Structure 1
């Protein structure tokens, strides 16, 4: 299933035929292919669900590359400094459920930065796997005979 959700990065815009891009998978892919921003100056994505979830990835990518980045979609624009700070330039559609096009591009720090976002965007951390395991542990319920009788797990369908 994951292979069906990973964007094709061999051509722009990045997209998944027949599906909206998952922002978490798209963000991880952006982080993995950040070098393309250095060579191409921009990365475009098509049909992204909840594009605001790309913000921590754009912030981390700006820090990773040591470059100013701009993340934008219809009516919304944010800038990220090489230190990971973020500025909201245009707020329309910040909370959009989907965006037809999202653009992540190298930008110049000159010009209007807009309103600084309160606080910093959280770092993705040194060990995302540890963070995901911690989250999974919060939702894990050990198997019991009672839960199996109520239909939990596999095999009683």
Structure 2
């Protein structure tokens, strides 16, 4: 199915919220999914997979234990790329001072990449991320990619290393619409449905026109 980037962002935001993410992080997840989709990556498929993986898992369990540690890791021994990416963006200045930040056991690392854009814009220098067989870099506007699709879309990275400043090599051209697998869109819709308030007797009557009254 072909969807506009606006449709992808709206669905991703509601689905992320339905999966239990705070509104702020849900908004960032949606923007990131749109951003990846705009560069031809299966952002919606990856987000749907992540939401399934972390459904009912407290965000604290897949968040970095300490942002001051030399290597970041999470209590669940696997880290959410959304939480990790948001934390990296908050630590942009520290990234530039240290030169790199390393994270262990990150699921779907490509989902952390959009957060690099905000960090790059604040720092004024490109930021890169690297894991086995893949390297991506962005200055916040353009995206440079190196690696095969299988490596870029890997489901788990033992080590994810962010660095700044970074060289921009392998520019990728953006697209206007994205192809989305039907099953992934349905999964996002299922999560999004959780944000709808359950119907009450009053709302059902109001939505039924005259309700139980008959003025004829």
TM-based fold match above 0.5: yes
Matched, 1:144 2:199: yes
Matches of 2:75 and 2:123 in 1, distance apart?
29
Displacement after TM superposition at 1:12 (Å): 1.9
Specify whether residues 99 and 117 from structure 1 end up closer, same or farther in structure 2 by C-alpha distance, changes over 3 A only: farther
Unpaired stretches in structure 2, ≥5 consecutive residues: 1-57, 177-190, 202-216
**Aligned length in residues:** 128
Displacement after TM superposition at 1:24 (Å): 0.7
Contact 2:63 2:75 in 1 (8 A): no
Displacement after TM superposition at 1:35 (Å): 1.2
Matches of 2:61 and 2:123 in 1, distance apart?
28
Displacement after TM superposition at 1:2 (Å): 3.3
Contact 2:96 2:163 in 1 (8 A): no
| SS, match of residue 10 in structure 1 | coil
1:122-141 aligned at under 5 Å gives the runs 139-141=194-196
Higher relative contact order (CA 8 A, sep 6+): 2
| SS, match of residue 93 in structure 1 | helix
**2:163 is matched with which residue?**
105
| SS, match of residue 11 in structure 1 | coil
Structure with the greater alpha carbon radius of gyration: 2
Matched, 1:73 2:131: yes
CA RMSD, 1 decimal: 2.5
Q: TM-score of the superposition, structure 2-length normalised?
A: 0.53
**Alignment counterpart, residue 5 of structure 1, candidates 52, 62, 66:** 62
Matched, 1:54 2:112: yes
Q: Which moved more, 1:64-73 or 1:11-20?
A: 11-20
Displacement after TM superposition at 1:40 (Å): 0.3
Q: TM-score of the superposition, structure 1-length normalised?
A: 0.71
More helix by share: 2
Displacement after TM superposition at 1:78 (Å): 0.9
1:72-91 aligned at under 5 Å gives the runs 72-81=130-139, 83-91=140-148
Unpaired stretches in structure 1, ≥5 consecutive residues: 121-135, 147-157
